[in-house]
Every structure is written in C-alpha cells, then in structure tokens.
Amino acid sequence: MDTPAMRSAGRIDDLVTGAGLVAGAANVIMQLGRPGVGHGVLESTVDSGNLFRRPWKRARTTFTYLAVATMGSEEEKRAYRRAVNRQHVHVRSGESSSVRYNAFDPQLQLWVAACLYKGFEDSYEALAGASLSPGEREAVYAASAPLGTTLQVPPGKWPGSRDEFEEYWQEGLRKVSVDEPVRELLLSVAVLDFLPAVLRIPFGRFNRFVTTGFLPATFREQLGLRWSDEDQRRFDRVCRGVGAVALRLPRSARQFPLNAFLADLRRRMRKGRPLV
C-alpha cells in the first residue's frame, strides 16, 4: 500500500478515479444481474436513458450520479435525486412482464447502490495492487451511504458496517439470476456493442477482458465467460500498470472525468437546465 492515494484513503471520494471507470461495464452487469433490475432496463420505455440508443446521454447521467453521490453537496444530491426520480417513475413492470419490478423498489435500489460501492472498492484495490487496510475500508464504507440514499434507499437500510455489507453482498450474489434475454444484453455491454464501430472494434475485445476480470465468479458462470489463472495474472498486471500512473496523479487529474461531470451539473443547476 505505497501509493499516495492509498495512504490517505478514508473517504469515498478517495476511491474516485477516472481510471476506475474501466470497471464500468462490469458494474452495469452486476447491477442487472438481479432480475428486477435487468428486466427493468431491458423493458424500459424511457428512450432518453437507453444505453443502445443514446449511449452518450446514458453515460453522462450515470457518471454524473457517481460524481454527485461521492463528491457533491447535499443540495446537489437532492436536486439530482429529484431529477432521477422523474425518470424512474416510468420504469415499472407491465402486464406482459415476466418479472415484477419498480424503479422505486428500495430493495432493488439497495442492490444497485451496493454494486456501485463494490465497484469503487474493487477497482481501486485492483489499480493499487493491494487491499485497503481494515481501518481504511471501514472509514470509506461509512462515508459511502450516499451511493444509496441519493437514490431511494432509506438511510436505515444501508448496512451499518462493512462486515454487515459483506453479509448482504454474499446474500445478494445468491439472488443473481440471468435469463437468456438479459444474458444477451449483458454480453453486448461487455463488448461495447452500444458504441460506434470506430470505438467498438478496437476496444471491444479488451473491454470484454477487463469486464470479465472485474466480475465475481457468480456472474462469469451465469454469462458463460471463461477465466483462467493466466487470465487473472494478466488482468492483475494490466490493472497495476494503469494504477502505477493513475493513483499518483494530483487529485483533480485522478478524479477526471467525474469531476468534470460534477462541474457540468453545477452549470446546469445555475442555468436552470435539465439535469438528466
């Protein structure tokens, strides 16, 4: 644990790195692994939030959420929560849905928030090539509740300690169930099918590799993704190589582009423009 960033880790924003976004596709897959979330996204009629139809807007919305939940003020969190709620009100199962879901379900929101936190923690440790100390892990976790409460998770529903979170996480993994329609969606996310060919072709294969590396074994098995010991060693080398540079950058550079999305949110709030 010898990088400057890791030595100071004690807040959730200490884990915020632009390099950590390389785990983004894996995090999306983890969220959608719960049937209620996966089918909610698959069947959603909210076109403005559709990853495959409007990938850049979907990315801006997601990255802004991560930025405001980890680095934003209480006023900014409340404003963004209201904006997200106006979109989520349309996301609910219909008569023909095979899975019942509602975007305001606090249990589904808790799972999404848990995936976000786990993504921050896992990607940061992969980049550092070392684990957070118990004290750092608990301090960072204690500050992570806004990842859920900025959504619809009541404060009392966020697991009270990192150990309690681990129990919740392991239980959540047992509830992961990916049927064929959602599986096709998730595999297409892994290979960047939502991006233009000029980006998808050169980066799709690499993204599938790092996505598989960041996924827990439960997801690899359900998606049929193979992973060998040599794959793990190569993945570790790639992450440590990126982290050796990224985690030594000044905070503002390390947090880019999430800090830029937060700045964009603040401009939108000042000018009265839509936040989502």
DSSP string, 35-51: HHHHHHHHT---GGG-T
Which residues have a Cβ under 8 Å from the Cβ of 62 and sit 6 or more positions away? 24
Secondary structure (H, E, C), 200-237: HHHHHHHHHHHHHHHCCHHHHHHHCCCCCHHHHHHHHH
**Whether 117 contacts 144, CB under 8 Å:** yes
pLDDT tens-place string over residues 63-75: 999 999 989 999 9
Q: 102: which strand partners?
A: 92
pLDDT tens-place string over residues 95-148: 666 677 777 788 888 999 999 999 999 999 999 999 988 888 998 898 888 888
- 50 inside domain: yes
Of 200, 169, 218, the C-alpha closest to 29 is: 218
pLDDT of residue 98: 65
What letters, b where the CB count within 10 A reaches 16 and e where it falls short, cover 40-52?
bbbbbeeeebebe
pLDDT tens-place string over residues 96-107: 666 777 777 888
pLDDT tens-place string over residues 195-248: 999 999 999 999 999 999 999 999 999 999 999 999 999 999 999 999 999 999
* Neighbour count for residue 174 (Cβ, 10 Å): 8
- 94 inside domain: yes
pLDDT of residue 4 exceeding 50: no
Distance of CA 75 to the CA centre of its chain: 22
Range of the domain at 144: 4-271
The mean predicted confidence, pLDDT, of the chain is 87
> From CA 240, how far away is CA 128, in angstroms rounded?
6
- 199 inside domain: yes
pLDDT of residue 144: 86
Q: How far is CA 126 from CA 14, 115, 245, in A?
A: 15, 16, 13
- 276 inside domain: no
**Domain count of the chain?**
1
> From CA 100, how far away is CA 54, in angstroms rounded?
25
- 117 inside domain: yes
Where residue 9 falls among pLDDT bands split at 50, 70, 90? Answer: low
